[in-house]
Chains A and B, each alone.
Chain A
Amino acid sequence: MAYGMRVWGADGALQLDENSFTVRVILSTPVTFVNAKSSQDFPVPGVGPANGAAIVIPLGEYDANQKQFETEMLDGVARVYNHTRGFASSTVATGTMLLIVMRFN
């Protein structure tokens, strides 16, 4: 190692070094859909399919009947759908989930 930083754990294992990439949170926000088949856009400047990901996760425990939303990472925008896009007869999901946009580099 010519320069940089390394971190070892209590077990002696190297955890982070000069070749590591980490995961930075760009946006973390609840998203709510009530009824109609639709989508919502969230601007995330500088993040796109090449360097990031948008995920939706339950906000904790959830009802067995609840259905999850779906995401699409575009250049500068995270889009959340309450249905399966490209599938005309998709059912519709309602409720609130947590949108997380992450950036890797």
Chain B
Amino acid sequence: MQYGLQFVNNSNSVVVDSEFARLCVIENGRYSPNVTNGYGALVTFARVVTSQNPPLVFVRPDTVTGVAQLGGMRVIGGPGNWTGFYVSTYNTIGFPPNGKYFVGSFGGQSVASYGMRLWDSNAQVLFDSGTVCASFTRSFQNWTYLFYELGPQGEYRNFYSVDFNFPAGEYLLINNFGMNMCSGGPVSRALYNWWDFSANKLYAVTIAYANPYAFYLPAVFAKIAV
């Protein structure tokens, strides 16, 4: 880097600079059951995300005395105008969807009336005091297989987990918990994240009749405050 700003942390990693786009928090708030008979949450962003590519959505369900079960995620909107997202629960018996979210994109948006704003050499906003970078906390290449259960219609529910014991303020990326996965048959593999607050265990759950044990889904966690 020849000119501009570079901020290095105590571990000698670059945290912010005027060269590269980083994941910035465009907006954060709460999701709550408001559609699909109270088992779906449709969030409309107060601040539209103007990136060309879909934004990344991270969630942190409220603690319940049991298991919060989320899936069916989809981002709403189109390039330059992402307006919200939808997430739903596994079924109509469990806890309705309540929790916190944040939505991020690579690069900031010009929203602050004071503070600091950084642009790259193409005049793209990289940082803005109103859309500060998210902090990386942990990531896993894939989840570890634990066990399976048979569902009421003979479907296999496979349970996988990662090392995560619900530290305060950490959110899970959920864009990849929407579209089904390949299975071994005509019914594709549905995918959920189950937050078992009672057992202090975060599961990825796959559901299909021909449900392989093999499962390769990255898990990415981040937070929005130190």
Contacts and interface: CB of A to CB of B under 8 A. Distances in A.
B181 A73 contact: no
Contacts, number: 175
Given A25-B106, A53-B218, A61 B53 contact: no
Given A58-B75, A85-B214, A105 B13 contact: yes
Central interface residue in B10, B56, B79, by most chain A CB within 10 Å: B10
B9 A20 contact: yes
A57 B54 contact: yes
A16 B16 contact: yes
Given A18-B9, A28-B53, A67-B179, A53 B225 contact: no
Interface residues of A, number: 55
A102 B22 CA distance: 9
A62 B178 contact: yes
A20 B175 contact: no
Interface string B70-94: 0000111111000000000000000
Contact of A70 (B74, B116, B135, B217): B217
B179 A87 contact: no
A23 B13 CA distance: 11
At the interface, is chain B mostly helix, strand, loop or mixed?
Answer: loop
Contacts of A47: none
A25 B22 contact: yes
B9 A87 contact: no
Interface in A68-84: 68, 70-73, 82-84
Contact of B179 (A18, A54, A62): A62
B226 A16 contact: yes
Nearest to B138: A104
A72 B215 CA distance: 11
A85 B212 CA distance: 10
Interface of B: 7-11, 13-16, 20-23, 25, 53-54, 56, 74-79, 106, 115-116, 129-130, 132-136, 139, 141, 173, 175-176, 178-186, 188-189, 210, 212, 214-218, 220, 222, 224-226
Interface of A: 4-5, 7, 9-10, 13-25, 28, 49, 53-62, 65-68, 70-73, 82-87, 89-93, 97-98, 100, 102, 104-105
17 contacts: A4-B8, A5-B16, A14-B225, A20-B9, A22-B134, A23-B134, A57-B175, A67-B182, A84-B183, A84-B215, A85-B216, A86-B214, A87-B214, A91-B185, A93-B181, A97-B179, A102-B220
Given A25-B23, A67-B182, A73-B141, 20 more contacts: A4-B8, A13-B225, A15-B224, A19-B9, A23-B23, A24-B21, A25-B106, A53-B141, A53-B220, A55-B175, A66-B179, A70-B181, A84-B182, A87-B184, A87-B212, A90-B212, A91-B186, A93-B182, A102-B220, A105-B136
